Amino acid sequence: MAQRKHLNDFLRGRIIGRLEYGRTHLEVSEVLGIAQSVISRFWQRFHDDGNVSRCYSTCRPRVTTPNEDRYLAVTAKRNRRSTASDLSLQLPSRFSLQSDSRRTSIWRAPGTRYHQENTIERHRYEGAGWLVWGGIILGSRTDLHVQSVTMTGHIYRDVILEQHVRLFRGAMGAEFLFMDDNARPHHANIVD
């Protein structure tokens, strides 16, 4: 059985564009190297609802593979008196050390959670923040400004941009170029 390959949005657009231009299904399939049935299905879906994007399933994902389904059907026919729980025990058990979030799970004996060998010591500073700011202008530097505040978008706007940068922008004129360090508080959407 051939492996399915999902087409990206750009290729889908090329297919529909060529068909709208007047090319035949056969010509488009030969040029793009895609089966004619796929081209026909895209064109039909485009005419039905004007959309050719992938249809994502909202149903629950399968738990067993088709091979396991066949195995269960054969086993159920052989043992007519077996129940669903009996059949579920016959499937091979599988487990993974990685969850869906790709975090590694660590298995340990019950009651050993807080033992020294099972803990990682971390220190977090929960105190007030400090704002330290300085500027470089025409080869010289501004004074270093130190304030005992936690940085937010509003503080950055009021303390740095309004009090210091705005003054230098007026003095520099058209050659003024302002660059920051891409810190998250510096890019806050502030609307007054």
Q: Which amino acid is at 60?
A: R
Nearest-angstrom CA–CA distance, 90 and 117 = 37
Average pLDDT, rounded, for the chain: 72
What average pLDDT does the segment 31-58 reach? 79
> Looking at residue 43, what is its pLDDT?
86
Report which of residues 121 and 171 the model is more confident about. 171
- Backbone φ and ψ for 131, nearest 5 degrees, come out as -105, 120
pLDDT score of 156 more than 70: yes
Query: Strand (E) positions, the chain?
Result: 131-133, 136-137, 140-141, 145-147
Provide, rounded to the nearest whole percent, the portion of the chain with pLDDT above 70.
59
Instruction: Evaluate if residue 94 carries a pLDDT over 80.
Output: no
pTM score of the predicted model: 0.29
Q: Is the pLDDT of residue 189 over 60?
A: no
CA dihedral for 11, 15, 21, 24, sign (positive or negative)? positive
Task: Enter the tokens of residue 126.
Answer: 């929960």
Within 10 angstroms of residue 19's Cβ, the number of other Cβ atoms is 19
- At 145, the pLDDT band (50, 70, 90 cuts) reads confident
133 pLDDT band, cuts 50/70/90, is confident
The better pLDDT of the pair 192, 48 is held by 48
Distance CA 62, CA 123 (A): 43
Distance of CA 104 to the CA centre of its chain: 19
Residue 93, both tokens: 């058990």
pLDDT interval class at 87 (50, 70, 90): low
Q: Which of 133, 177, 191, 192 is nearest to 159 (CA)?
A: 133
CB 187 within 8 A of CB 168: no
169 phi, psi to nearest 5 deg: -65, -40
